[in-house]
């Protein structure tokens, strides 16, 4: 393999760097990810055993793609490389090493919604539920908790900075957090933050030093992509993993840091040379992705950032037209422009899969999704998916989770409240009786249910017993378990929710996904750790199509590239999002996010904004929308302006020929945030 033919000098130097710490800091599209792939290939060629290489990426999908590319370079050996996210890796290591440190191997992972629900229980247990509504909500409590864990900023400082009105409750926060922590531990529940925290602690704790050293000794080389989006805890983990050796390669771009809202800090990049003395630093400036006019616009946009360290990007490629800045009269005209232009480019030979439409938040593509469906253009959607957050999906998962972990209080509470005749008091009493009996399997059966709850209690006891019984010949697949649960649950669903059909269809999907997992534990862990991030992961919208358009949030588009990119809703209050408008740091993060969006394009880039929004989406005082503040006059000069004319001359909106067979709008509403 001739590396020199595939990489430029700086990339080659990085890919073939000998042992020792290495930082690659470079702008968008300069080949950071490509260099990392070649470095993995190079290490394997050099004789490093692939299973002793750890590749950490932002999504599991990204790791898979990189390893597939490495496979093309060095063959199937690369399949043994351990690739995945920090959380996924933490999970794997904790299952293996946790039991030696007092964490049982069968812990249950709580996703964010579960953690918030548990926080609510802690809030109530601390007697703060009935206090005046001035005491923060579970979401706020959880946000502060998570921020504290991920940034190591003291709770008091977070309150002063973000929630000064809650300062007087600082002691109460501490009480709730203490209960929350104890509650999780007593029930073997582990949330996302705990995964990282336990990993870091295993590596660092003195009495367990032996474990830390053994974990560190599992790998000879660690490589991290998108390092700008890691947090303090992840930096600590990397330190711990590198105690035995110092073979760490990190790549990142401070101008693309977009997860500060979740505690990420570019200090990790800036301080790397200090944290790893003697680290080699490679910078890359030649962009291989985009045309110069697209880079000019992107460079200008990011040049307005308050703080920045990366250099101007350039390409050796010549030609390319200026990106378009498109003014539409309203949302629907914006939609029709995007769809028409996509079809035009498609006619001219660009496959749909080489085009993407990006937006700030998942709900902003609703009109576009309807239009694409009406015009029969296949698409898949990345990010912003609410499938697993849908109440009915969580309901079914609650059954599986109490089977998996009988101490899973959140799931017990959820499923008890589902049952007809069981209310809050009965649910709490039932849970207390199980706590008193140390969560033994039989304790729920012995619970003395009040008369009106007797039938439901009996039905639930029977179902759980049937699912627990392990007679030979029984089908114990997760899909089958879901089918059994639905025997009881589907009627409850029909009673409790509207729009029954799409919800039942979701449960079919869930059953289908479950079919791909060997057992319940791995199914539940995968859903919590790696929730489906694209509609195609769920098996609809493009399963049989290899040519589908991508709709994506800007966050989920990180690291990707397409021939043609449309950034829609470039409207102040939408991008940047309105909740960022009052906070300078958040505005800067939104600007970097816009930069990420623009730099995804290879040849065509169009940024669009509707001038007015005449439905009531934003309330009456905002009838006229303003172009995003990031596209100031100077930046606009890097674009060519396209102003779409008032509707005359444009085709009237098409009306579907026949009544729709499926209630598509209903499905969208229930799936993308409308459902409860
Ligand atoms: P981002 O910051 O968006 O993650 P990146 O720095 O990781 O970008 P890559 O995705 O690795 O950049 O590369 C961008 C594009 O440029 C890819 O299509 C890649 O294959 C191509 N590329 C990078 N380096 C070279 C090279 N030396 N020769 C040819 N193509 C290259
Ligand atoms: Mg990359």
The residue behind tokens 């101008």 is: 255
For 137-168, give the DSSP string: PHHHHHHHHHHHHHH---HHHHHHHH-GGGGG
The β-bridge partners of 6 are none
The pLDDT value given to residue 503: 85
The residue behind tokens 């790998």 is: 219
Judged by phi (left if over 0) then psi (alpha if -120 to 50, else beta), residue 309 lies in alpha
Helix ranges, 32-85 (H): 32-45, 60-74
Q: Determine whether the shortest distance from the Cβ of 502 to ligand 1 is under 6 A.
A: no
Q: Determine whether the shortest distance from the Cβ of 31 to ligand 1 is under 6 A.
A: yes
Within 10 A of 472 (CB to CB), how many other CB atoms are there?
4
* Atom 14, ligand 1: residue with shortest CA distance: 29
Ligand at minimal distance from the CA of 24 is 1
* Atom 21, ligand 1: residue with shortest CA distance: 288
- For residue 198, what are its two tokens? 């336990």
User: Is 503:392 a contact under the CB 8 Å cutoff?
Assistant: yes
- For residue 245, what are its two tokens? 């050796």
Q: Determine whether the shortest distance from the Cβ of 33 to ligand 1 is under 6 A.
A: yes
Cα separation values, 196 from 215, 347, 672, Å: 14, 48, 29
CA of residue 550 to ligand 2 center, whole Å: 18
Cα separation values, 499 from 219, 394, 414, 490, Å: 50, 16, 21, 13
CA of residue 226 to ligand 2 center, whole Å: 7
* Atom 26, ligand 1: residue with shortest CA distance: 7
The pLDDT value given to residue 596: 97
Q: What pTM does this model have?
A: 0.85
> Rounded to whole angstroms, how far apart are CA atoms 120 and 668?
29
The pLDDT value given to residue 238: 97
* Atom 8, ligand 1: residue with shortest CA distance: 29
Spatial neighbors of 317 by CB under 8 A, at least 6 apart, are 291, 292
Which residue among 250, 288, 299 has the greatest number of ligand 1 atoms within 8 angstroms of its CB, and so is best to mutate? 288
CA of residue 59 to ligand 1 center, whole Å: 18
- What HEC string does 444-501 produce? HHHCCCCHHHHHHHHHHHHHHHHHHCCCCCCCCCHHHHHHHHHHHHHHHHHHHCCCHH
* Atom 27, ligand 1: residue with shortest CA distance: 7
What radius of gyration do the chain's Cα atoms show? 26
* Atom 30, ligand 1: residue with shortest CA distance: 288
Q: Determine whether the shortest distance from the Cβ of 559 to ligand 1 is under 6 A.
A: yes
CA of residue 259 to ligand 1 center, whole Å: 22
Which residue among 8, 9, 34 has the greatest number of ligand 1 atoms within 8 angstroms of its CB, and so is best to mutate? 34
Nearest ligand 1 atom to alpha carbon 560: 3
Judged by phi (left if over 0) then psi (alpha if -120 to 50, else beta), residue 541 lies in left
Q: Determine whether the shortest distance from the Cβ of 8 to ligand 1 is under 6 A.
A: yes
Spatial neighbors of 422 by CB under 8 A, at least 6 apart, are 416, 430, 449, 453, 456, 457
- Of 56, 177, 228, 90, the C-alpha closest to 528 is 90
Question: Residue 484, CB half-sphere, CA atoms under 13 Å: how many?
Answer: 21
Q: Determine whether the shortest distance from the Cβ of 315 to ligand 1 is under 6 A.
A: no
Nearest ligand 1 atom to alpha carbon 284: 6
The pLDDT value given to residue 101: 82
Cα separation values, 52 from 216, 223, 411, Å: 11, 11, 38
Query: Mean pLDDT by 10-residue block, N- to C-terminus, for the chain (676 residues)?
Result: 90 96 95 97 96 94 93 92 94 91 86 89 85 79 92 93 90 94 92 93 76 92 96 95 93 92 88 94 94 95 79 84 94 94 96 96 86 89 73 93 91 93 91 91 91 93 88 77 94 88 84 85 85 61 68 94 97 85 87 97 96 53 71 94 72 42 46 40
Q: Determine whether the shortest distance from the Cβ of 11 to ligand 1 is under 6 A.
A: yes
The pLDDT value given to residue 654: 42
- Of 247, 284, 282, 252, the C-alpha closest to 267 is 252
Which residue among 5, 29, 73, 601 has the greatest number of ligand 1 atoms within 8 angstroms of its CB, and so is best to mutate? 29
Ligand at minimal distance from the CA of 287 is 1
Which residue among 33, 258, 287 has the greatest number of ligand 1 atoms within 8 angstroms of its CB, and so is best to mutate? 33
Cα separation values, 8 from 11, 39, 470, Å: 5, 13, 60
Q: Determine whether the shortest distance from the Cβ of 32 to ligand 1 is under 6 A.
A: yes
The residue behind tokens 């729920």 is: 444
- For residue 619, what are its two tokens? 């309330």
Q: Determine whether the shortest distance from the Cβ of 394 to ligand 1 is under 6 A.
A: no
The pLDDT value given to residue 262: 83
User: Is 140:165 a contact under the CB 8 Å cutoff?
Assistant: no
The pLDDT value given to residue 500: 83
């Amino acid at each position: 393999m001739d590396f020199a033919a595939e990489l430029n000098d700086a990339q080659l130097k990085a890919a073939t760097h000998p042992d020792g710490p290495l930082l690659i800091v470079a702008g968008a599209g300069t080949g950071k990810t490509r260099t990392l792939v070649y470095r993995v290939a190079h290490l394997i060629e050099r004789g490093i055993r692939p299973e002793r290489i750890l590749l950490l990426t932002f999504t599991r999908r990204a790791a898979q793609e990189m390893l597939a590319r490495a496979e093309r370079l060095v063959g199937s050996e690369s399949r043994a490389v351990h690739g995945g996210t920090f959380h996924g890796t933490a999970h794997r290591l904790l299952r293996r090493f946790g039991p030696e440190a007092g964490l049982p191997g069968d812990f249950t992972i709580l996703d964010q919604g579960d953690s918030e629900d548990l926080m609510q229980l802690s809030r109530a247990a601390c007697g703060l539920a009935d206090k005046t509504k001035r005491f923060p909500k579970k979401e706020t409590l959880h946000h502060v908790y998570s921020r504290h864990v991920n940034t190591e900023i003291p709770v008091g400082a977070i309150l002063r900075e973000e929630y000064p009105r809650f300062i007087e409750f600082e002691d109460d926060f501490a009480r709730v957090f203490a209960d929350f922590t104890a509650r999780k531990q007593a029930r073997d529940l582990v949330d996302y933050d705990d995964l990282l925290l336990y990993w870091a602690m295993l590596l660092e704790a003195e009495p367990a030093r032996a474990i830390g050293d053994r974990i560190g000794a599992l790998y000879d080389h660690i490589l991290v992509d998108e390092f700008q989006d890691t947090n303090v805890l992840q930096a600590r983990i990397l330190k711990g993993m590198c105690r035995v050796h110092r073979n760490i390669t990190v790549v990142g771009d401070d101008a693309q840091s977009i997860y500060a809202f979740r505690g990420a800090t570019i200090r990790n990049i800036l301080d790397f040379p200090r944290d790893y003395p003697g680290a080699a630093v490679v910078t890359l400036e030649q962009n291989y992705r985009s045309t110069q006019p697209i880079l000019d616009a992107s460079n200008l946009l990011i040049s307005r950032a308050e703080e920045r360290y990366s250099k101007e990007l350039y390409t050796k490629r010549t030609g390319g037209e200026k990106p378009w800045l498109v003014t539409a009269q309203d949302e629907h005209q914006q939609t029709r422009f995007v769809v028409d232009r996509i079809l035009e480019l498609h006619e001219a030979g660009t496959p749909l899969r080489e085009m993407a439409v990006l937006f700030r938040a998942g709900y902003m593509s609703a009109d576009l999704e309807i239009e694409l469906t009406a015009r029969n253009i296949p698409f898949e959607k990345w990010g912003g998916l609410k499938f697993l957050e849908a109440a009915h999906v969580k309901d079914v998962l609650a059954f599986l989770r109490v089977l998996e972990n009988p101490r899973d209080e959140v799931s017990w509470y959820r499923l008890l409240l589902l049952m007809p005749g069981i209310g809050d008091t009965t649910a709490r009493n039932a849970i207390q009786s199980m706590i008193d009996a140390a969560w033994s399997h039989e304790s729920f059966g012995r619970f003395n249910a009040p008369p009106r709850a007797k039938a439901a209690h009996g039905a639930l006891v029977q179902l759980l017993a049937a699912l627990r019984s392990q007679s030979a010949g029984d089908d114990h697949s997760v899909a089958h378990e879901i089918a059994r649960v639905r025997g009881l649950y589907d009627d409850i669903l029909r009673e409790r929710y509207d729009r029954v059909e799409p919800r039942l269809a979701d449960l079919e999907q869930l059953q289908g996904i479950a079919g791909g997992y060997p057992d319940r534990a791995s199914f539940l862990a995968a859903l919590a750790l790696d929730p489906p991030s694209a509609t195609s992961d769920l098996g609809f919208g493009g399963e049989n199509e290899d040519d589908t358009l991508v709709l994506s949030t800007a966050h989920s588009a990180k690291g990707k590239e397409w021939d043609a990119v449309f950034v829609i809703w470039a409207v102040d209050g939408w991008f940047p999002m309105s909740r960022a408008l009052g906070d300078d740091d958040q505005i800067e993060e939104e600007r970097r996010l816009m930069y990420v969006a623009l730099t995804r394009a290879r040849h065509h880039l169009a940024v669009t904004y509707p001038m007015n929004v005449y439905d009531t989406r934003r309330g009456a005082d905002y009838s006229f929308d303003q172009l995003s503040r990031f596209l100031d006059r100077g930046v606009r000069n890097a674009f060519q302006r396209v102003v779409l004319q008032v509707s005359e001359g444009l085709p009237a909106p098409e009306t579907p020929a026949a009544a729709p067979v499926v209630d598509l709008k209903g499905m969208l509403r229930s799936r993308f945030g409308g459902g409860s």
